[in-house]
Structure formats: structure tokens, C-alpha cells
Amino acid sequence: MELAQMHQKMIYPIVRVRCMRAGGSGVIVYSKDHDGEGQTYILTNHHVVESHISFDQKWDGLAGRDVKTEVRSPVEVDIFKYRDLSWEEGQISVGADIVAWDKSFDLALLQLRSSEVQKYTAKLYPRDLIKELRIGQETLTVGCSLGHKPVPSQMGMITSLDETIENQRWWMHSSSTIFGNSGGACYVLNRMEVFGITARIAVSFAGFSPDPITWLSYVIPVSRVYNWLEEMHYDFIFNPSKSIEECAKEREEAADHLRQAWETRFRREQEIAYGPHSFGASPQPEEEAEE
């Protein structure tokens, strides 16, 4: 393995994500110039940024009732600069918006509030080669362990491709992982590409407190990452045939479809409660018949 490539493809794309109640890691998966401005996207875990997602009850005049509204506050992302492959020259902190998230998949996508194109991005393991992954292939985890700057772990290997936790498929590897690595990347070593997003480690409750088993680590499979990015209409990140504009239009159309479905459902509820042609109206008292 060529050392410079290891740094550029596996260490430099990793960032530290700082939040109100917690923190973790993230991996830059896209950074390109778009109409003179850089567009940079970072994958991380939902549980890393969860404290920045809340829901408020607000009055909706159309619905005539309180409606739960989602509120997302920005997070801070630390990007590190290096020299001579080993010495940190400094770091820059940039705000980032949570543009997509999924609690059940434990995934979130951040967009940097910066127009600067980042020099180093990580590559996802090719979708068409996922079926060729095998137990025993060497892996390397990189993340902000215990809030430190990005550090590579002890090398390990793929140990399982069919773990099931909470009705979700997970992959397991033996590269050392610890708190703070969440949202970082686990790479297949020979290709230096993202095998999965670090999310869980095994914990033993043999003593008085839980003890992390750092060499039993679980990642969100890269196959699920691909599927999720497609579902969220951010597949331009890995699909060069899709543009940012196309994906934005798809997201808008999907939002319109959901809004129309909600309005149709609400109209039907109103008709059941108050009769036909009552959408947006309140029930009126019956008029007394004239004698």
C-alpha cells in the first residue's frame, strides 16, 4: 500500500462533526464546482446529529389545527490540513446543514456552508462489486476517536456480511473502533474505498459498567448507503449521469406528491366528519325548521 494514497483516499476525507450534545465523524463523499461554487456533501450517522433535529407544533391555517414542523439547526464540521503525511498544519471549522436524515437507517447527509471545493473525497466501494466482498478481506477504520483528529485504526478484516440488528442488515469487521468513530468510514484496504459507515460497536456487560469490544464493530453496509441516497434523490453523489438540478427537481416533485397526498387524506377526513364539500370548513349548526 502506497502511504501517500492511503492518506489522500482514506484519512484526509474524514472530518470531525461537532454538535450540541455529542459529536462524531463524517466522510466527505462529494465536492465539486457547480456554477462557480463548490458543493460539498458529507455522510455521517443520524445519531451523531440527532440533537440538531427537533419538531415544533405550529398552527396551520389550511389544516385548521396544530401541525408538527421539523426544525434542523446547523452543525460544525472540522476539516484538517496536513503536511508531509503526518503533521497537522491546522484545521478549519465550517457550518453544515442537515439536508437529509433517516433514523431507522442511522444515516444523515450534511452540506457544507462553504463555496470552497475540498481537495480530498472518499470513494464508495463500487456497487457492482459488492457481491464479490468476502470474509477475510482486510479493512481499515478512520474516524475521530474520542473526539481526536481523524486517526486510522489497527487493521482488521471483514468478519461477517449477514448480521441482523433491529431488523436491519449490518456488516461486521475487526478493525478497532471506539466512541467518536461514529459516522466515519471503514475501508476495504486493497481498494481504499468505503466499505461501510461506522455506526456500532459491541458492548459487554460482564462487569459493573458496559465495556466496549473495540474489535467487534458494525458498519452500515455501502449497499444501504447507495439505496438511501437514491431514495433521498441525492444519487448525483455517486452517479455521474445525474445532475444536481435533476435530483433537486426529483426532491421537489416527491415533496409535492407527499403534500398532495396529505391534502387528499385531510379532505377525506373532513368529508367523513362534516359531509361533502366541507374541506377547510367548520361544522355549522343545523337550522331549525320553520313551523
Identify which has the larger pLDDT, 89 or 275.
89
- What pLDDT is stored for residue 62 in this prediction? 58
Query: What number is the average pLDDT over the span 233-257?
Result: 93
Closest of 152, 134, 113 to residue 13, by C-alpha: 152
Residue 175, helix vs strand vs coil: coil
CB 70 within 8 A of CB 100: no
First to last CA, the chain: 97
Asked if the structure places residue 179 within a domain, the reply is yes
CA 28 to each of CA 41, 103, 124, 242, 255: distance values in angstroms, whole numbers, following the listed order: 6, 20, 11, 19, 26
Supply the pLDDT for residue 201. 85
**Residue 239 belongs to what domain range?**
3-56+71-246
**At a CB cut-off of 8 Å and minimum separation 6, what does 208 contact?**
none
- Residue 290 maps to a domain: no
Rounded mean pLDDT, 7-11: 95
Domain count of the chain? 1
Q: Is residue 148 part of a domain?
A: yes
Lowest mean pLDDT among 130-144, 237-251, 257-271: 257-271
Note the pLDDT tens digit of each residue in 114-171: 999 999 999 999 999 999 999 999 999 999 999 899 999 989 999 999 999 888 999 9
15 in a structural domain: yes
Domain presence at residue 271:
no
* Domain membership flag for residue 287: no
Query: Is it the case that residue 283 has pLDDT exceeding 60?
Result: no
Confidence (pLDDT) at 266: 67
Average pLDDT over residues 241-248: 95
Read off the pLDDT band of 291 (50, 70, 90): very low
Q: What is the mean pLDDT of the chain?
A: 88
Contact 219, 185 (CB under 8 A): no
Beta bridge partners of 66: 59
> What is the pLDDT confidence band of residue 275, given thresholds at 50, 70 and 90?
low
Residue from 13, 195, 7, 44 nearest 121 by CA: 13
* Of residues 256 and 15, more confidently modeled: 15
Establish if 130 belongs to a structural domain. Answer: yes
Q: Are 176 and 159 in contact (CB under 8 A)?
A: no
Task: Give the pLDDT band of residue 33 (cuts 50, 70, 90).
Answer: very high
CA angle 103, 104, 105 (to 5 degrees): 90
The CATH number of whichever domain residue 92 belongs to comes to 2.40.10.120
